[in-house]
């Protein structure tokens, strides 16, 4: 068969407000802007019939970025191979809960706070486990999670110092992120965390003043907004590279207040691109207040996420880098679906998912003091094989390389529907926003 250059099945395209286009390919991760003039060349080149030769620089750029592929390529095989690469044993991701206690009691929280701080036996077990794995690892990513992880700062310190030393000795790429409510994140604490390679943060702010305080108050009921914002303002003075996502969980009650929060954040952080916003709807995540939560309908949530993001960008405040990151190959796959990823509870219980901590199907093993893992591979298999391998719609989806049918295996298990991420469902709008955000830089 004669070779032709045809459009990739993993392309998505969006118009920009200046009459150009943004092209995205979920297999290569390329996101490329073409001006109105270039568009005249791009659109005909992407016709289904394809083109026999690459005639000009634009067509070469389309080919080099994966927007055009050779007609002899089996793209579904490419995606399948990418999915199989999740089984690489030299890459490991651990989600660690140095404590499962929290100083906040957020209205929508699903955690039960029955288990406190990680004890020395589990800390020793983790150090030994990573030491023993080190010889075969090329990369280790740690997500610090909780409870509120900063309550157990000493545990983070002890484990970080150990992991830093092991990864340095063994030439392992070591990276970390941390999810915190921000209350204990003083400038000093922040600088310590940076020194331990923890430089990606997610901090939730749900509104200005009382709106936030009402939803995200201290265990005893005290206010938290001023402390969190003052911490963020102090952090802004720190030099260097880090990335802070300010996450806003919205519901029917807080939606009318969202613009005030955008204005507030713009006034304080718009001049610093290290801070970006991420809007997400509050869900019934399994907490005791679920029945009373004024959650938005799915249609409304889908629409509002991007309207609010658009408003923030228009006001000059950055969109979280997490949104673009999530479009990259394999990046929309939840850690629960990855074979070499584990969640470690403060008592050494091993899980796959960070949400369903009390469900038996999520309790996949234990870590012991000597570093040995006791694992239930049948349970693990149920988390890592429920995506594109069996779902034919996922196999044909343009977003398959990014998501692999595995954006949220828990959603698929509980609801029985495909867990398509918000980004995929509104890809045209998202690509337009990525372009808009990039021209603000």
In contact, 24 and 327? CB cutoff 8 Å: yes
- Interacting residues with ligand SF4 between 299 and 338 (CB under 6 A): 334, 336
- Name the nearest CA neighbour of 111 among 41, 197, 184, 179: 179
Joined together, the tokens standing for residue 49 give 């019939």
Q: Smallest gap, in angstroms, from Cβ of residue 25 to ligand SF4?
A: 15
233 sits near ligand SF4 (criterion: CB under 6 A)? no
Q: Smallest gap, in angstroms, from Cβ of residue 97 to ligand SF4?
A: 13
| Interface pick for ligand SF4 out of 21, 96, 235, 397 (rule CB under 6 A) | 397
- Interacting residues with ligand SF4 between 339 and 368 (CB under 6 A): 353-355
In contact, 98 and 126? CB cutoff 8 Å: no
420 sits near ligand SF4 (criterion: CB under 6 A)? yes
200 sits near ligand SF4 (criterion: CB under 6 A)? no
Q: Smallest gap, in angstroms, from Cβ of residue 254 to ligand SF4?
A: 22
403 sits near ligand SF4 (criterion: CB under 6 A)? yes
Q: Considering the complex, state which of residue 43 and residue 415 has its C-beta at the smaller distance from ligand SF4.
A: 415
399 sits near ligand SF4 (criterion: CB under 6 A)? yes
| Interface pick for ligand SF4 out of 394, 427, 433, 434 (rule CB under 6 A) | 394
How far is residue 284's CA from residue 269's CA, in Å, rounded to a whole number? Answer: 31
Q: Smallest gap, in angstroms, from Cβ of residue 270 to ligand SF4?
A: 30
Q: Considering the complex, state which of residue 130 and residue 336 has its C-beta at the smaller distance from ligand SF4.
A: 336
Q: Considering the complex, state which of residue 62 and residue 336 has its C-beta at the smaller distance from ligand SF4.
A: 336
Q: Smallest gap, in angstroms, from Cβ of residue 276 to ligand SF4?
A: 20
Q: Smallest gap, in angstroms, from Cβ of residue 339 to ligand SF4?
A: 14
Interior angle at CA 393, CA 9 and CA 81, nearest 5:
60
408 sits near ligand SF4 (criterion: CB under 6 A)? yes
Determine the size of the site formed for ligand SF4 (CB under 6 A). Answer: 22
In contact, 30 and 67? CB cutoff 8 Å: yes
436 sits near ligand SF4 (criterion: CB under 6 A)? no
141 sits near ligand SF4 (criterion: CB under 6 A)? no
83 sits near ligand SF4 (criterion: CB under 6 A)? no
| Interface pick for ligand SF4 out of 39, 400, 429, 436 (rule CB under 6 A) | 400
405 sits near ligand SF4 (criterion: CB under 6 A)? yes
Place of tokens 């929060």: 261
Which positions lie near ligand SF4, rule CB under 6 A? 334, 336, 353-355, 388, 393-394, 397, 399-400, 403, 405, 407-411, 418-420, 424
């Amino acid at each position: 068969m004669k070779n032709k250059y045809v459009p990739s099945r993993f392309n998505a395209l969006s118009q920009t407000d200046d009459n150009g286009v943004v092209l995205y390919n979920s297999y290569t991760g390329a996101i490329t802007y073409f001006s109105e003039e270039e568009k005249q060349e791009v659109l005909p080149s992407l016709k289904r019939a394809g083109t026999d030769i690459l005639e000009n620089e634009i067509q070469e750029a389309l080919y080099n970025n994966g927007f055009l592929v050779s007609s002899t390529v089996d793209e579904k095989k490419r995606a399948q191979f990418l999915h199989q690469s999740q089984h690489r044993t030299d890459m490991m991701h651990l989600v660690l809960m140095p404590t499962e206690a929290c100083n906040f009691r957020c209205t929508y929280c699903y955690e039960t706070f029955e288990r406190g701080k990680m004890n020395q036996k589990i800390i020793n077990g983790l150090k030994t486990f990573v030491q023993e794995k080190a010889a075969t690892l090329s990369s280790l990513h740690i997500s610090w999670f909780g409870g509120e992880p900063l309550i157990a700062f000493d545990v983070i310190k002890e484990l970080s110092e150990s992991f830093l030393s092991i990864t340095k000795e063994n030439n392992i790429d070591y990276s970390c992120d941390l999810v915190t409510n921000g209350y204990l994140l003083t400038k000093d604490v922040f600088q310590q965390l940076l020194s331990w390679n923890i430089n990606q943060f997610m901090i939730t702010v749900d509104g200005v003043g009382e709106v936030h305080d009402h939803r995200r108050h201290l265990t005893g009921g005290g206010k938290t907004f001023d402390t969190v914002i003052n911490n963020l303002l102090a952090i802004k003075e720190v030099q260097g590279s880090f990335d802070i996502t300010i996450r806003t969980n919205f519901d029917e009650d807080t939606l009318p207040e969202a613009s005030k929060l955008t204005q507030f954040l713009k006034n304080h952080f718009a001049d610093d691109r290290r801070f970006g916003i991420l809007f997400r709807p509050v869900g019934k995540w399994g907490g005791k207040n679920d029945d009373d939560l004024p959650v938005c309908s799915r249609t409304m949530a889908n629409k509002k996420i991007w309207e609010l993001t658009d408003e923030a960008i228009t006001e000059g405040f950055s969109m979280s880098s997490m949104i673009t990151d999530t479009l990259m190959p394999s990046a929309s796959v939840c850690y629960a679906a990855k074979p070499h990823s584990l969640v470690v509870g403060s008592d050494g219980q091993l899980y796959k998912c960070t949400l369903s901590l009390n469900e038996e199907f999520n309790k996949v093993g234990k870590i012991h003091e000597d570093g040995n893992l006791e694992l239930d591979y049948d349970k693990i298999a149920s988390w890592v094989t429920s995506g594109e391998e069996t779902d034919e719609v996922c196999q044909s989806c343009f977003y398959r390389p990014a998501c692999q049918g595995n954006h949220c295996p828990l959603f698929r298990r509980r609801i029985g529907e495909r867990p398509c991420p918000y980004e995929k469902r509104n890809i045209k709008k998202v690509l337009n926003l990525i372009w808009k955000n990039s021209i603000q830089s």
